[in-house]
Structure 1
Amino acid sequence: MQLCDTHCHLDDKRFEGDFEAVLERAKKAGITRFVIPAAHLEDLERARELAHKYEEVYFASGLHPNYAYLYDEEFLKSFLGDEKCVAVGECGLDYYRLEEALAESKLGSIEELKRIQKEVFVAQIKLAIAYEKPLIVHIREASSDSLEILQKYAKDLKRGGVLHCFNADFQLLSLAKEGFYYGIGGVLTFKNARKLVEVLPKIPLESLLLETDAPYLTPHPHRGERNEPAYIPLVLEKMSEILGIPKEILIKQINLNTENLFGEVFGAA
């Protein structure tokens, strides 16, 4: 088995002490390629450094919606031309922590913060269009607004994108026809994942990707521990069980999906 963890924050400080051991455990588990999405501008230098040090590691240039008020387009552009930069993101809309983000941003209102999130999301979509890179999308409690924006620009996104940590919202399934993929991670193994379990069979196999969001969202039975790419097989096992499809078939299709989204270098070895 050789798979890609399409969304793992390996630049997080929680991996500093044993980064190479984390990679080694992942490889033993059959995870051989890794995409580090940027969340904060401060993450990008570290992500690029890791991508250039380790052949199997790649990164994306973008800004998480929680930090949209810090947007610096020229800074993001300085990374997008890098040969190891495979996407724009993670970017999108997040209405879950608006009060917290408002306090940090020192903006005047929630509505102003939402407006800035939308503007910055659109700006990053336009970067993905200009650089012909796929989009890594973060959506939390903002499905309707996100869908409206993505539908407006989908036809211009030649490389499509992935809805990271797919939230199981039925209305977002329409984006599969627009070239979007759905990142499935540890949440699928949670006891309270009934909605995702219900929605999963409705996602075309040609639109599925695997991710961890490490160090977050650790799958069962490791809840409470730091998540890492080596746990991808736990998600694959649960996916196979829910869909009633052998793991070998899922692996083949998901590898093809990953290659279609991120490029030939992500094809199964």
Structure 2
Amino acid sequence: MLVDTHVHLNAEQFFEDREETIQRAFDAGVTYMVVVGFDRETIPLAIEIAEQYETIYAAVGWHPVDAIDMTQEDLDWIEKLSAHPKVVAIGEMGLDYHWDKSPKEIQKEVFRKQINLAKKVKMPIIIHNREATEDIIEVMQEENAQEVGGIMHCYNDSPDYVQACLDMNFYISLGGPVTFKNATLPKEVAVQVPEDRLLVETDAPFLAPHPNRGKRNEPAYVKLVAEKVAELRETSFEQLSKITTENAFQLFHFE
């Protein structure tokens, strides 16, 4: 059994064949999935999908790229939705310095607000980080994110930052990039992370793993990620699946 801890089945890329995509995941042994909503359009659909399947859950938050669009009403809405029985985390949230739609200071403000919301409702958080690692860690430390912990989603940065994340009660989740031939950092991280802090994900429809790189990703492909991480850690696929599934249950408290 595997858990895809971060998937966007609510993305438009799955509008025409979502049911078939989910069935392929189940057939591949991907039994549990967390669908992540990150704006006004994707959040309701994440919950709707989770309501339709016993082993699919949702996370609700606000993406940093769109931080400039978030209102207090949106934050209140996310807080209200956090009480839904199928919502297991707040996020994805964080910082994204690759795109310039939302100024950095606004991104930080929205990030801080969501961390504090998660602390209020006592839920783990899912961190999106793109080209902003040091600022991410600084904000997390200043806002005492260790009180709730969570996931460093699709970790693709230097191993040098891993310990700071672990110290704040965070899991390290690896996705498709760990399978890329030229990606050295996630491979190093895959070996470094303690087994009780390791997760796998797809971030589908994005970042499809080798040999599907460049194509639409889907949750069934988390098996390819798990196989590669097992290879790098010199353990069996079965053991890696067991470890990462137990970790996901520990974090999300699936019913």
Q: Where does structure 1 lack aligned partners over 5 or more consecutive residues?
A: 103-112
The two structures, once aligned, show a CA RMSD in angstroms of 1.3
**Superposed counterparts of 1:13-32, under 5 Å:** 13-32=12-31
Letter of the structure 2 residue corresponding to residue 146 of structure 1: I
Residues 18-45 of structure 1 deviation map (CA, whole Å, 9 limit, x = unaligned)? 1111111101110011101112222111
How far did residue 155 of structure 1 move? 6.0
- Alignment of 1:134 with 2:127, yes or no, is no
Separation of aligned partners in 2, 1:202 and 1:151:
22
What's the CA shift for 1:238? 0.7
CA 155–188 in structure 1, closer or farther in 2 if over 3 Å, else same: closer
Counterpart of 1:203 in structure 2 is 193
Gaps of 5+ in 2: none
Q: State whether residues 186 and 218 of structure 1, in contact with CA within 8 Å, keep that contact through their aligned partners in structure 2.
A: yes
1:174-213 Cα deviation digits (max 9, x unpaired):
2212210011111111122112112221111111101000
Residue matched to 1:51? 50
Equivalent position of 1:164 in the other structure: 153
1:73 aligns with 2:86: no
Deviation readout 1:229-268 (Å, 9 max, x if unpaired): 1111111111111111111221121111101110143xxx
1:241 aligns with 2:231: yes
Match of 1:255 in 2: 245
Distance 1:38 1:86 in 2: 12
Shift of residue 156, structure 1, vs aligned partner = 5.3
In the alignment, structure 1 residue 225 sits paired with structure 2 residue 224 = no
Change (3 A) 1:82 1:20: same
Cα separation, 1, equivalents of 2:223 and 2:46: 24
Aligned residue type for 1:163:
M
What is the TM-score normalised by the length of structure 2? 0.94
CA contact (8 A) 1:186 1:217 kept: yes
Compute the TM-score of the two structures, normalised by the length of structure 1. Answer: 0.90
Structure 2 partner of 1:106: none
Correspondence for 1:60 = 59
| Structure 1 pair 125–33 and aligned structure 2 pair: CA distance change class (3 A) | same
In structure 2, C-alpha distance between the alignment counterparts of 1:55 and 1:27, rounded to whole Å:
12
The number of residues matched between the two structures is: 251
Is the partner of 2:89 in helix, strand or coil? strand
Who is 2:205 aligned against?
215
- Match for 2:86: what amino acid? K
Describe the superposition over 1:27-76 as per-residue Cα deviations: whole angstroms up to 9, x where unpaired.
11100111011122221111111111222211111000000011121121
Contact 1:41 1:62 in 2 (8 A): no
The answer (yes or no) to whether the contact 1:151–1:175 under 8 Å persists in 2 is: no
- Aligned residue number for residue 143 of structure 2: 153
Query: What is the distance in 2 between the residues matched to 1:171 and 1:138?
Result: 15
Which residue of 78, 95, 114 corresponds with 2:104?
114
Q: Tell me, what secondary structure is at the counterpart of 1:32?
A: strand
Q: Identity percentage over the alignment?
A: 41
Distance in 1 separating the partners of 2:165 and 2:56: 28
Q: Distance in 2 between matches of 1:166 and 1:57?
A: 22
